[in-house]
Amino acid sequence: MDLSPKARHIYTQIHSEDTKLGDLRNIAKAIKKDHVLALELWSTAAFNTRQLVILIMDKKKYPEGVRLTTSRNLLKLKRINAINNKTNHS
């Protein structure tokens, strides 16, 4: 994982179990929108980092194909959960 100095600083700042959502919101407020940084941080695959990415990414630059794929996956998950709920309550 080869990160820029800015991304590495942010990653080390939030990569702990003590990081709260409020901390991420404050960092995101300082960063505002930075899609390039968001893509770089997403590559770390760390939970806190990905939460921050959702706050700082530019949704207009989010690829349409990814949006469609994500929507389809969410629909599949909802269907699976609905089926599981029906079988658990029977």
Q: Where are the domains of the chain?
A: 1-57, 61-90
49-81 confidence digits (pLDDT tens) = 989 998 998 887 766 445 545 556 666 666 766
Lowest-confidence pick of 3-7, 14-18, 27-31 = 14-18
Distance CA 40, CA 4 (A): 8
Provide the pLDDT for residue 2.
85
37 neighbors 56 (Cβ within 8 angstroms): yes
7-22 confidence digits (pLDDT tens) = 999 999 998 889 999 9
Write a three-state SS string for 28-68: HHHHCCCHHHHHHHHCCCCHHHHHHHHHHCCHHHCCHHHHH
